[in-house]
Amino acid sequence: MKKISLFLLCLLLTPVGMAQDIEPEDAIKYRKAIMSAIKGHNNAIRSIVSSKVPFSNRLNDHVMSLQQLYAELDQIFPEGSDFGKTNAKEAIWDDPDKFNATIKKSQEALDTFAAVIAKGNLSESASAAKKFGKESCGSCHKLYKKKDN
């Protein structure tokens, strides 16, 4: 976990301008990796809040990792990476301001969820997880993600 966190910290400290120098194919591969990591953390969170696994002491770690991953969502859809085997809809590039506003709302929903998690009440966390899913991933995917290829 420490290596992953250090890697993510380095990514966050990388100048934003570098994202524009990425080959589109590499941007797509990177984006898919980030989205898979987000999915993995969300699946772990669901397993914990539904009491399927006894790792509630790790819940905050998953949420913090999501916050780090969400911090770069607005950078992983660079212009020119709208082709190939991807589930990203054209609407991302057609109206980037609206897309970025949706990302901001997702980040805010995650921050609200993180505040509930910090209280340590697993029952409240389960309810908050459902709300977070609808307000964050669900709302963004509805507008910007094609059905899986």
66 vs 85, higher pLDDT: 66
Q: Which domains, ranges and CATH numbers included, belong to the chain?
A: 2-9+22-74+88-144 (1.20.120.10)
44 vs 82, higher pLDDT: 44
Contacts of 52 (CB under 8 A, 6+ apart): none
Contacts of 123 (CB under 8 A, 6+ apart): none
Pick the closest to residue 48 from 36, 37, 40, 57 (CA basis): 57
Q: What is the mean pLDDT of residues 132-140?
A: 87
Q: Round the average pLDDT of the chain to a whole number and report it.
A: 85
- Considering the chain, what percentage of its residues have pLDDT values greater than 70? 85
d(C-alpha 121, C-alpha 4), whole Å: 27
For 10-67, write each residue's pLDDT tens digit. Answer: 555 444 444 457 888 899 999 999 999 999 999 999 999 999 999 999 999 999 999 9
